């Protein structure tokens, strides 16, 4: 984990974007929670891993991030949304303040993690024969072998966590929870060694007023499409001439 936040943050002005790069150290089984997808893609004993509409493997991060944040902060009075799905909403509850509760949106928005390469290139099927608990022997006749779709070791997943009106404590809590995810696993079958990851974080700090400048720049391009084309041409010319010089 890298890049400690530089300088203090100004509430109500700043937005922090945490760019995550997650590398699979052991295979990740993400599970699929859309009933329709499971019905369509589950064949025989094969359990599907979640696939995005545009063909990448994805995994939900928000649930586990909040769960580990709550575990970390239990002694500091954070509530447990596994027990109370609504969230307590007490002003001193750090996780309700960050992630929200019923009736109030959180300040922390967590993307799904998505593989950099397409689903078919990073997902493989592993088979798990059923083992008799008493004898420890693979049982051929009692019950089927389970097949799991898994994201393979070395695969990279990316996603952002966006924090509005950030507090420095938010970054501490999230990086702590991410460390816990590295150790305890992401996704399913973690007790069998699945879901070990390495998580790299880079921070980007922007201000709401940044969007004003972006808007200005984008509007200029939209209003002057011809000028933009000329600029592109000039760039190409510059490239060609420098290439000629270097030759
Ligand atoms: Zn709470």
- Tokens representing 147 are 């097949």
Read off φ and ψ for residue 198, nearest 5 degrees.
-120, 130
pLDDT at 241: 64
Give the distance (Å) from ligand 1 centre to CA of residue 140: 48
Give the distance (Å) from ligand 1 centre to CA of residue 87: 5
Q: Give 38-80 pLDDT, tens digit per residue.
A: 677 666 677 888 999 999 999 999 999 999 999 999 998 899 8
Q: Give 180-235 pLDDT, tens digit per residue.
A: 999 999 988 888 888 999 999 999 999 988 999 999 999 999 998 887 777 777 77
Residue 166, pLDDT above cutoff 90 = yes
**Cα 205 from Cα 15, distance rounded (Å):** 6
Confidence bin at 109 (pLDDT 50/70/90) = very high
**Residues with Cβ–ion distance below 5 A, ligand 1:** 79, 87-88, 93, 96
Q: Where are the alpha helices (DSSP H) in 136-206?
A: 168-184
CB distance 1 to 183 below 8 Å = no
Q: Which of 165, 35, 5 lies closest to 100 in space, CA to CA? A: 165
Contacts of 83 by beta carbon, 8 Å cutoff, 6+ apart: none
- Tokens representing 158 are 């990316």
Give the distance (Å) from ligand 1 centre to CA of residue 181: 21
Selected residue with higher pLDDT from 128 and 122: 122
CB distance 203 to 16 below 8 Å = yes
Give the distance (Å) from ligand 1 centre to CA of residue 119: 37
Give the distance (Å) from ligand 1 centre to CA of residue 168: 19
Give the distance (Å) from ligand 1 centre to CA of residue 80: 7
Give the distance (Å) from ligand 1 centre to CA of residue 69: 11
DSSP state of 57: B
pLDDT at 71: 95
Contacts of 40 by beta carbon, 8 Å cutoff, 6+ apart: none
Give the distance (Å) from ligand 1 centre to CA of residue 84: 9
Give the distance (Å) from ligand 1 centre to CA of residue 110: 18
pLDDT at 3: 38
Structural element, H or E, at residue 71: helix 62-72
Beta bridge partners of 195: none
**Mean pLDDT score, 83-108:** 91
Q: Give 1-47 pLDDT, tens digit per residue.
A: 433 444 555 556 789 999 999 999 999 988 776 667 667 766 667 78
Give the distance (Å) from ligand 1 centre to CA of residue 79: 4
pLDDT at 1: 40
pLDDT at 132: 64
Give the distance (Å) from ligand 1 centre to CA of residue 5: 26
Give the distance (Å) from ligand 1 centre to CA of residue 85: 10
Rg over CA atoms, the chain = 23
pTM above 0.85, yes or no: no
Residue 142, pLDDT above cutoff 70 = no
Give the distance (Å) from ligand 1 centre to CA of residue 39: 35
Give the distance (Å) from ligand 1 centre to CA of residue 93: 5
């Amino acid at each position: 984990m890298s890049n400690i936040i530089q300088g203090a943050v100004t509430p109500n002005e700043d937005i922090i974007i945490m760019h995550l790069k997650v590398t699979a150290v052991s295979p990740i089984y993400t599970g699929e929670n859309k009933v329709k997808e499971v019905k369509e893609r589950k064949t025989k004993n094969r359990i599907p891993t979640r696939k995005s509409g545009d063909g990448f493997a994805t995994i939900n991060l928000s649930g586990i991030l909040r769960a580990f944040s709550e575990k970390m902060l239990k002694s500091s009075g954070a509530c447990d949304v596994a027990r109370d799905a609504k969230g307590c909403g007490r002003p001193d509850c750090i996780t309700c303040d960050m992630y929200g509760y019923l009736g109030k949106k959180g300040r922390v928005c967590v993307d799904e993690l998505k593989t950099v390469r397409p689903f078919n290139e990073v997902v493989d099927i592993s088979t798990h024969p059923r083992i008799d608990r008493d004898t420890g022997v693979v049982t051929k006749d009692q019950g089927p072998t389970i097949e799991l779709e898994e994201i393979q070791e070395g695969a990279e997943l990316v996603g952002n966590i966006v924090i509005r009106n950030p507090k420095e404590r938010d970054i501490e809590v999230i990086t702590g929870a991410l460390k816990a995810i590295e150790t305890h696993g992401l996704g399913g079958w973690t007790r069998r060694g699945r879901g070990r990851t390495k998580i790299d974080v880079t921070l980007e700090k922007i201000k709401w007023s940044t969007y004003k400048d972006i808007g200005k720049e984008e509007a200029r391009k939209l209003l002057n499409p011809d000028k933009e084309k000329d600029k592109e041409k000039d760039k190409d010319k510059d490239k060609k001439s420098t290439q000629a010089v270097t030759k």
